[in-house]
A and B are shown apart, each in its own frame.
Chain A
Amino acid sequence: MVTLNIIANINNTGEVMDIVDSELDRNDFPVDLRPEILIAVEEAFVNIASYAYKPEEDGYVELSVDVDEKAVIRFTDWGEPFNPLEGNAPDLNVPIMEREIGGLGIHFIKNLMDEANYEYSGGNNILTITKNMTKKDREI
């Protein structure tokens, strides 16, 4: 398991993805499942970096990656209480030329991961996303 604090800046997105990818690699997590995890990680981190803190604040995110039978990635921030999972799903029925682009990131997290949970506890926003390793686990 790896845990570290990183500044909630959108320019750190690649570093966050590399840390998660390295931990998945170190634990031999199935290669075919890693892209979906990395997509969800980017979407989650970008969301926090964009909205958790005021622009003038140098807020931090604690990133925790625990890989065993599941890959469990937890993002903790100390910004205003905010549940990103409650956002409206994008309206995909709108004609393409009129379609707004926002909202896809959370839609991807919910659909590409097996679990996505948010809690606010002790002044912390905690977003946990989980991908199961095996097909059997994935069907439970």
Chain B
Amino acid sequence: MEKSSFTVTTSSEAPNVELEVGGYIAYDTAGQFEKAINDSLESCPETVTVNMENVVVFTSVGIKIILKAFKNAKAKGTGFQIENPSEVVKNVLKLSDLTELLLK
């Protein structure tokens, strides 16, 4: 994996969708992350779960996308949650006071 690359794998098991993301979620890769989340919400699944175990860097642009996704999901009646956060994701969620709201 390149230093600042981003990876995403989507798996669907109706009525739920899981995204497994890894690498950098930062300014350069934000568009890919946002598109993956928006695509997953499109079919109005019951729940979207974002597995963030392999995320190496997670900046404020990632938080913006997560917050927007949470709001969009809520408007569609879709559950939205994060699971297996890496240490850096845990730290950033804690600093953003989003741990309780988003962690599965």
Which A residues lie at the B interface, using CB under 8 A? 10, 13-14, 17-18, 21, 32, 35-36, 38-39, 42-43, 46, 92-93, 96-97, 99, 101, 104-105, 107-108, 111-112
Interface string of B77-92 (1 = CB under 8 A from A): 0000000000110011
The interface residues of chain A lying within 8 Å CB-to-CB of B87 are 32, 35
Is chain B's binding surface mostly helix, strand, loop or mixed? helix
The answer to whether A42 touches B26 (Cβ under 8 A) is: yes
Which B residues lie at the A interface, using CB under 8 A? 3-4, 24, 26-28, 56-61, 63-64, 67, 70-71, 74, 87-88, 91-92, 95-98, 101
The interface residues of chain B lying within 8 Å CB-to-CB of A36 are 88, 91
The answer to whether B59 touches A108 (Cβ under 8 A) is: yes
A38: nearest chain-B partner, CB-CB: B57
**10 A-B Cβ contacts within 8 A?**
A18-B4, A39-B26, A42-B27, A42-B59, A46-B27, A96-B70, A99-B67, A104-B60, A105-B59, A108-B95
The interface residues of chain A lying within 8 Å CB-to-CB of B56 are 35
Between B57, B92, B101, the greatest number of chain A beta carbons within 10 A of the residue's beta carbon is seen for B57
Between B58, B74, B92, the greatest number of chain A beta carbons within 10 A of the residue's beta carbon is seen for B92
